[in-house]
Amino acid sequence: MRHSYLVSYDICNDKRLRRVFNICKNFGNHLQFSVFECDLTPTEKIEMETQLRDTILSSEDQVLFISLGPADGRGQRAITALGTPYVSIDSPCYVV
């Protein structure tokens, strides 16, 4: 069964930041700068965590997994924003 997570990260090094971005992009949908929505099986979550753990420097960087519950039957996703409106990012994103 797939489970939905918000994955957010704070990475202190540009090279590691690019690597973390690419790992997250392979597992989920890019919502905002350092935030992804990922629908993962337990195996995929372990694989993603392993790749991230091998990439980050644990004394400087942080990756958060925020559980949103089961992906199936959760209904329509609703994203609201304060300030500038939320825009789905469908175009390529480049991290410099």
CB 65 within 8 A of CB 48: no
Nearest Cα residue to 61 out of 6, 19, 3, 5:
19
Residue 54's domain comprises: 3-70
E strands, the chain, where?
A: 3-10, 29-32, 35-40, 62-70
- What are 11-59's pLDDT values in tens digits? 999 999 999 999 999 999 999 899 999 999 999 999 999 999 999 999 9
What's the CATH number where 65 sits? 3.30.70.240
CA distance 91 to 73: 28
* Token couple for 31: 């919502």
How many structural domains compose the chain?
1
CA distance 68 to 31: 15
pTM beyond cutoff 0.75: yes
Q: Does residue 20 lie in a domain region?
A: yes
